[in-house]
């Protein structure tokens, strides 16, 4: 028995070392995170999930819309804690009011959401929130919790089947959305990034207030957004508190 336990511990130790497991303080959340997936692996996973997304949904060819999103997105990414990542911002030809972030820096905004945006500060609020999911590593941590062990094995043995399964799991996890706490954290980070990049952080409040109005009128149109985010009024309340804190700090 003792021998087996020793063997197991030794093997687990080797796996962790080989996979480059680290405990680091996340600069965005100030929390200690166990990192099994390093930046390069995260980008690779993100890229493969992005390819899946773009196979399923059409990327808009409207140069104006795409450059609008890209310009604001890059300005925000440049003041974030993970500016080393090459962020990509793209518009999808979808009516649903939604935006989402993949690990590694891939961010998508639906055309339906853009139709609701009245100025740069509102779009900055939305994009800052998505960047927040990436800097706080929400997606990659979810994935790590789900497939941590098999991930280590696949990295060690370069198993293609497992890699494919990881990409599928990542895709499903991202469509399921994040926890309430993760959403609030992304909102908080959005306030910080928009403010630092020189946008009015009240833009996110304005955007969410419009969303709240729509919830009553056309609940179906925003179904996906509502199912994956905490109550809008609670988000507005917390964002206002964060703005007050931010401005007070100045």
List interacting residues with Zn ion (CB under 5 A).
Answer: 183, 186
Nearest approach in angstroms of CB 118 to Zn ion is 21
Distance CA 147, CA 59 (A): 29
Residue 151 or 187: which CB sits closer to Zn ion?
187
Nearest approach in angstroms of CB 177 to Zn ion is 7
Residue with token string 């206002």: 240
Nearest approach in angstroms of CB 221 to Zn ion is 18
Nearest approach in angstroms of CB 183 to Zn ion is 5
> How are beta strands 106-110 and 99-102 bridged, if at all?
antiparallel
Nearest approach in angstroms of CB 237 to Zn ion is 17
Residue 21 or 57: which CB sits closer to Zn ion?
57
Residue 167 or 186: which CB sits closer to Zn ion?
186
Nearest approach in angstroms of CB 205 to Zn ion is 16
Residue 142 or 152: which CB sits closer to Zn ion?
142
The answer to whether 122 and 140 are in contact (CB under 8 A) is: no
Residue 154 or 194: which CB sits closer to Zn ion?
194
Nearest approach in angstroms of CB 135 to Zn ion is 13
Residue 107 or 197: which CB sits closer to Zn ion?
107
DSSP string, the chain: -HHHHHHHHHHHHHHHHHHT-EEEE-TTT--EEEESS-HHHHHHHHHHHHHHHHHHSPBP--HHHHHHHHHHHHHHHTTSTTTTS--EEEEE---S--EEEETTTEEEEEHHHHTT--SHHHHHHHHHHHHHHHHTTHHHHHHHHHHHHHHHHHHHHT-HHHHHHHHHHHHHHHHH---HHHHHHHHHHHHHHHHHHT--THHHHHHHHHHHHHHHH-TTTTHHHHHHS--HHHHHHHHHHHHHHHHHH-
Residue 19 or 123: which CB sits closer to Zn ion?
123
Residue with token string 């090459």: 86
């Amino acid at each position: 028995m003792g021998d087996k336990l020793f063997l197991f511990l030794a093997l687990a130790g080797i796996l962790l070392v080989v996979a480059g497991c680290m405990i680091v303080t996340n600069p965005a959340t100030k929390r200690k995170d166990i990192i099994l997936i390093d930046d390069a692996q995260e980008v690779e996973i993100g890229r493969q999930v992005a390819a899946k997304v773009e196979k399923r949904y059409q990327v808009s060819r409207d140069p104006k819309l795409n450059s609008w999103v890209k310009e604001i997105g890059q300005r925000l990414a440049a003041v974030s804690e993970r500016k080393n990542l090459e962020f990509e911002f793209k518009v999808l030809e979808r009516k649903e009011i939604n935006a989402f972030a993949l690990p590694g820096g891939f961010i998508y905004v639906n055309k339906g959401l853009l139709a609701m945006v009245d100025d740069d500060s509102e779009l900055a609020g939305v994009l800052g929130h998505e960047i927040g999911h990436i800097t706080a590593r929400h997606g990659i941590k979810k994935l790590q919790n789900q497939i941590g062990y098999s991930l280590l094995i696949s990295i060690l043995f370069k198993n293609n089947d497992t890699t494919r399964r990881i990409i599928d799991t990542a895709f499903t996890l991202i469509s399921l959305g994040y926890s309430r706490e993760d959403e609030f954290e992304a909102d908080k980070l959005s306030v910080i990034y928009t403010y630092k990049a020189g946008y009015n952080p009240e833009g996110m409040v304005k955007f969410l207030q419009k969303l709240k109005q729509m919830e009553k009128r056309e609940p179906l149109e925003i179904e996906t957004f509502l199912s994956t985010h905490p109550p809008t009024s609670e988000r507005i309340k917390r964002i206002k508190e964060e703005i007050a804190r931010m401005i007070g700090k100045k």
